[in-house]
Structure 1
Amino acid sequence: MNQKMSLFTKISYGLGDFASQLIWTFVGTYLTVYYTDVVGLTPLAVSIIMLIARAYDAVDDPLTGAIAERTRTRFGRFRPYILYGTPLLAIVNVLAFTSPAFGGNQTAKVIWAGATYLLLGMLYSIVNLSYGALSTVMTNKPEEIIQLNSARMIGTNLGAVLLSGAAMPLLLKFSNGDAPTAQGYTMAVAVFSLLAIPLFYLLFFSSKEVIQPVKEEKIPFRTTFKVVLTNKPLICIFMIMLFSLIAIFGRLGTVIYYYIYVLKRFDLIAPLMMLPSICTAVSILVTSRFVEKVGKKKMCTISYIGSAAVLTALFFTDISNITMLMILTALFGIFSFSAPIPMSMIAEAIDYAEDKTGVRADGTSYATVSLSTKMASAIGGSIGIMMIGAFGYVANAEQTLQAMNGINLVVNLIPAAFMLLSLVPLYLYPLNQEKNEAIRNRLRSKEVTAREEIAREEVARGVAAREVTE
Structure 2
Amino acid sequence: MAGPHEGTPARAAETPPPPPVAHTLEPDAGSNAGHLSFFTKVCYGIGGVPNQVASSAIAFYLQLFLLDVAQIPAAQVSLVLFGGKVSGAAADPLAGFLINRSRRTGSGRLMPWVLGCTPFIALAYFFLWFLPPFTSLRGLWYTTLYCLFQALATFFQVPYTALTMLLTPSPRERDSATAYRMTMEMAGTLMGAAVHGLIVSGAHGSHRCDEATLPGQVAVFPNAIRLYPIAAAVVAVTYPVCSSLLCLGVKERPDPSAPASGQGLSFLAGLGLTVRHPPYLKLVISFLFISAAVQVEQSYLVLFCTHASRLHDHVQSLVLTILVSAVLSTPMWEWVLQRFGKRMSAFGICGMVPFAILLAAVPTAPVAYVVAFVSGISIAVSLLLPWSMLPDVVDDFQLQHQHGPGLETIFYSSYVFFTKLSGAGALGISTLSLDFAGYESGACKQAEQVVVTLKVLIGAVPTCMILTGLCILMVGPAPKAPTQDSSRSLRRRTSYSLA
Amino acid at match of 1:155: M
1:99 to 2:131 alignment: yes
Amino acid at match of 1:101: P
Residue 20 of structure 1 corresponds to 51
User: 1:52-88 CA distances to partner (integer Å, 9 max, x unpaired)?
Assistant: 3444444421121132133221111111111111111
Amino acid at match of 1:202: L
> Given that residues 36 and 43 in structure 1 are in contact (C-alpha distance below 8 angstroms), is that contact kept between their aligned partners in structure 2?
yes
Residue 355 of structure 1 corresponds to 399
Distance 1:334 1:44 in 2: 33
Distance 2:470 2:170 in 1: 27
Residue 34 of structure 1 corresponds to 65
Residue 138 of structure 1 corresponds to 167
Distance 1:412 1:174 in 2: 27
> Given that residues 99 and 110 in structure 2 are in contact (C-alpha distance below 8 angstroms), is that contact kept between their aligned partners in structure 1?
yes
> Given that residues 304 and 419 in structure 1 are in contact (C-alpha distance below 8 angstroms), is that contact kept between their aligned partners in structure 2?
yes
Secondary structure at 2:145 match in 1: helix
CA shift in 2, pair 1:395/1:110, >3 Å: closer
Moved more, 79-88 or 201-210: 201-210
User: 1:388-447 CA distances to partner (integer Å, 9 max, x unpaired)?
Assistant: 233332222202333212212112221111111111331245346xx45x26x43x7423
Question: After TM superposition, which residue ranges in structure 1, 4 or more long, deviate above 4 angstroms?
Answer: 172-178
Distance 1:174 1:51 in 2: 25
* Residues 47-86 of structure 1 mapped to structure 2, 5 A cutoff: 47-71=78-102, 72-86=104-118
> Given that residues 171 and 181 in structure 1 are in contact (C-alpha distance below 8 angstroms), is that contact kept between their aligned partners in structure 2?
yes
Distance 1:335 1:49 in 2: 28
Aligned residues: 438
Gaps of 5+ in 1: 450-470
CA shift in 2, pair 1:57/1:334, >3 Å: closer
Residue 221 of structure 1 corresponds to 267
**Alpha-carbon deviation of 1:183?**
2.9
Distance 2:307 2:55 in 1: 24
> Given that residues 22 and 196 in structure 1 are in contact (C-alpha distance below 8 angstroms), is that contact kept between their aligned partners in structure 2?
no
* Residues 305-320 of structure 1 mapped to structure 2, 5 A cutoff: 305-317=350-362, 319=363
**Alpha-carbon deviation of 1:311?**
1.5
> Given that residues 46 and 184 in structure 2 are in contact (C-alpha distance below 8 angstroms), is that contact kept between their aligned partners in structure 1?
yes
> Given that residues 74 and 441 in structure 2 are in contact (C-alpha distance below 8 angstroms), is that contact kept between their aligned partners in structure 1?
no
**Alpha-carbon deviation of 1:128?**
0.9
Secondary structure at 1:336 match in 2: helix
Secondary structure at 2:93 match in 1: helix
Residue 186 of structure 1 corresponds to 229
Instruction: Tell me the C-alpha RMSD between the 2 structures.
Output: 2.5
**Alpha-carbon deviation of 1:358?**
2.2
Distance 1:77 1:172 in 2: 42
The structure richer in helix per residue is: 1
Distance 1:56 1:197 in 2: 23
Distance 2:449 2:84 in 1: 30
TM score, norm. by length of structure 1: 0.86
**Alpha-carbon deviation of 1:357?**
3.0
Moved more, 27-36 or 85-94: 27-36
| Alignment match of 1:151 (pick from 180, 189, 208) | 180
**Alpha-carbon deviation of 1:170?**
0.9
**Alpha-carbon deviation of 1:173?**
6.6
Secondary structure at 1:45 match in 2: helix
Distance 1:65 1:125 in 2: 10
| Alignment match of 1:410 (pick from 454, 457, 460) | 457
Distance 2:356 2:204 in 1: 33
Gaps of 5+ in 2: 1-9, 11-32, 209-220, 492-499
> Given that residues 93 and 120 in structure 1 are in contact (C-alpha distance below 8 angstroms), is that contact kept between their aligned partners in structure 2?
yes
**Alpha-carbon deviation of 1:265?**
3.7
> Given that residues 45 and 184 in structure 2 are in contact (C-alpha distance below 8 angstroms), is that contact kept between their aligned partners in structure 1?
yes
Identity of aligned residues (%): 20
Distance 1:420 1:163 in 2: 29
TM score, norm. by length of structure 2: 0.81
| Alignment match of 2:157 (pick from 128, 133, 136) | 128
**Alpha-carbon deviation of 1:95?**
1.7
> Given that residues 388 and 406 in structure 1 are in contact (C-alpha distance below 8 angstroms), is that contact kept between their aligned partners in structure 2?
yes
| Alignment match of 1:381 (pick from 422, 427, 435) | 427
Moved more, 282-291 or 82-91: 282-291
